[in-house]
Amino acid sequence: MEKIGIFYGSTLGHTRVIAERIGAAFGQEQAQVINIENASIATLESFGNLILGTSTWGVGEMQEDWETFARQLHKIDLSGKKIALFGVGDQVEWSDSFVNGMGMLYHKLTDKATIVGFTSTQSYNFDISLALKNDQFVGLAIDEVNQSALTQERISRWVELLKKSFN
């Protein structure tokens, strides 16, 4: 498998910790974890496989460092790359915009690269999310506020899926 760059945007640290746990599941040799706040286009382009993670803030907005970085996404060459997304949110308090930030990233990237790692919405309970396509999440949805006990199994299952889907 080609090297994986895991780029996260996190305000209070939940998404950073999830990025580190996903990185640990792949192993240090395979995956590098990077804060999107300190990333350049060239750094993203240097990986064959990308995992991009954002929390959701405001009412259904991307985390602010991702929002800033996303303004440059039109300049990036992602052709031939495989991208997987993860979103961190709160399905109880924000049931009408659960992990919307992940959905926004998906819509910005879907024409530029192959997005892999869709997951089932079973075991979640929310009303509306922009991060859905054909009734599946467009990546891994994590809710550390309400379902932290399910997080490790969700990560492990997703990482096994990505091992089969990545370049």
Ligand X SMILES: Cc1cc2nc3c(=O)[nH]c(=O)nc-3n(C[C@H](O)[C@H](O)[C@H](O)COP(=O)(O)O)c2cc1C
The residues binding ligand X (CB under 6 A) are 10-15, 55-60, 63, 88-90, 94, 97-100, 144-145
Query: What's at 152, amino acid-wise?
Result: Q
Nearer to ligand X, 20 or 144 (CB): 144
User: What is the distance between the alpha carbons of residues 87 and 100, in angstroms, rounded to a whole number?
Assistant: 8
CB 1, CB 31: distance < 8 Å: no
Instruction: Please name which of 22, 12, 7 lies closest in space to residue 105, comparing C-alpha atoms.
Output: 7
The nearest distance, CB 146 to ligand X, in angstroms, is 10
| Residues in a beta bridge with 126 | none
The nearest distance, CB 113 to ligand X, in angstroms, is 23
Nearer to ligand X, 6 or 81 (CB): 6
Nearer to ligand X, 51 or 81 (CB): 51
The nearest distance, CB 53 to ligand X, in angstroms, is 8
User: What is the distance between the alpha carbons of residues 150 and 113, in angstroms, rounded to a whole number?
Assistant: 29
The nearest distance, CB 17 to ligand X, in angstroms, is 8
Nearer to ligand X, 9 or 117 (CB): 9
Strands 140-142 and 31-35, bridge-based pairing: unpaired
